[in-house]
Amino acid sequence: MKTLNKVLIGSLLSMGIASGASAYSIDDNGADQFIGANNNPLATTNNDVFGNPAEYDVFGMDVSSDVNNLYVSVYTNFDPSASTFDYGDLFISTDGWNPFGTAPYENDDYTNGEDWEYAVDVSSLSGGLADVVDISLSDGLNITSDSPTRIGQEVTVDRASILGFPTGADKAGDAGLNITTGGLTTLSFQIALSDLGLNALTPQEIGLRWSMTCANDITEGSYTVPEPGTLALLGLGLIGLGLRKRAKA
């Protein structure tokens, strides 16, 4: 009987993991999607993409999670091998997403809107791993200042050591990161929820942001870490009730 109970518990937990997983797409495909401010005084318009979309367009990101990890895949035409700019970092807010203004957020820049708690430092990629950075322990964010397109947008985390903290103290963990190019560029992240101070048992809205370092096109939006599968919880409750009855008997 004990063996059967263990099998049932394991099966139900597996079902809970599967049913607790959730996928969501944050699209970036037009004027009704996130654009953000452009503080470039030479810009006459504020577009979703400046220049050739075949080189800079960001299509958005797919986001999902399970009981252990957050998974993010960013899709873009951008390839730094054909540019003087590079990949930006993935920014994460663990207390929701609060852009400034209303869509398309044309006044949202680094001085307002969302305050990001974490980032995955793409430039630290080594052996398939990149640093998860606690921004509160870093030197802040790097902002576009001389881009020929969009000025005033946060693009990377500044890893310079700050007074009172040793170098590297801002590292919260390691994220899996795989980048594929050739046609469509895909940046695929796997981030432990625990490195972000999150718990899969507690549903939480998070914010996400990515762009290249010139911030030509920005994708930003929110995702909610879902509740665990209720089927597994119900099954475990029934098993517990059965064991309690047997104990009384």
- The pLDDT tens digits of the residues spanning 145-163 come to 777 778 899 999 998 867 6
pLDDT of residue 229: 58
The pLDDT of residue 115: 94
pTM of the model: 0.81
Token pair listed for 45: 């318009």
Q: What is the pLDDT of residues 84-99, one digit of tens each?
A: 999 999 999 999 999 9
Every domain of the chain and the residues it spans: 1-21+229-249, 22-225
Map residue 45 onto helix, strand or coil: coil
For the chain, how far is it from start to end, CA to CA, in angstroms?
A: 15
- What digits encode the pLDDT tens for the residues 48-92? 777 778 888 999 999 999 999 999 999 999 999 988 999 999 999
Closest CA to 80 of 185, 152, 220: 185
Question: With b meaning 16 or more CB within 10 Å and e meaning fewer, what string describes 170-185?
Answer: bbbbbbebebeeeeeb
* Per-residue pLDDT tens over the stretch 128-147: 999 999 999 998 899 987 77
24 pLDDT band, cuts 50/70/90, is: confident
